[in-house]
Amino acid sequence: MLNYIWAGMIFIGIVAAAFTGRMPELTNAVLDSSVEAVMLCIRMAGIMSMWAGLMKIAERAGVVRGLSKKMSPMLRLLFPNLKKESKALEYISTNFIANILGLGWASTPAGIKAMNELQKTNPDKTSASREMCMFMIINMSSLQLVTVSIIAYRAQYNSANPSEIIGPGLFATFVSTVVAIAVAIIFEKIYFPRRKIQNEALR
């Protein structure tokens, strides 16, 4: 669907430029944007490589494991159906830590592994479990202490103080995470009992 939307926007832009006689401006915008996109990718690659490397160092130094243990009470509260020794909890905590540090790209592998482990304990393989839904919604809301990608974007476009976004970003992501958890709990109370009744009726 997203491909169709982008294709439609490009087509409309070309048609509009042709009818208004602004094809030269469109051509220049495409060329300038292409160069800008490459420069942004190079800058982002450098910044993300640095933070991903620091994340790997922290992991090998045991920092991630220590933070995971400190997060254990919160994770047990959010995912009460998972056993304490569950491998999924380890991957979930790694994913959360990477997201908190603003390393969205670095958190993806841990997120995929967490989902695979959660699927193994999912009693209904055709539908997402309560734990999978909770993990996904928290992962999407993504509490962040350091919004690395936004800082990189602001630096790319010559912001006077790229890091000033940290405070507002922390507040916004904290609120979004709290709201996400609240919504997940509300829908859990409504949907999962209903699904359980439906499954029992089908049996």
pLDDT digits (tens, 9 = 90+) for 59-101: 787 777 777 777 888 888 888 888 877 888 888 888 888 777 7
What pLDDT is recorded for position 201?
Answer: 44
d(CA 40, CA 86): 39
Q: Inform me whether the pLDDT recorded for 1 exceeds 50.
A: yes
What pLDDT is recorded for position 97?
Answer: 81
Put simply, whether the predicted model's pTM sits higher than 0.85 gets the answer no
Query: Averaged over 23-28, what is the pLDDT?
Result: 84
d(CA 182, CA 175): 11
Q: Which domain holds residue 151?
A: 2-202
Query: Averaged over 25-31, what is the pLDDT?
Result: 83
Q: How many domains does the chain fold into?
A: 1
CB 77 within 8 A of CB 23: no
Residue 111's identity, in one-letter code, is G
Residue 40's identity, in one-letter code, is L
- Burial 57-82, CB ≥16 within 10 A → b, else e: ebeeeeebeebbeebeeebeebbeeb
d(CA 29, CA 22): 11
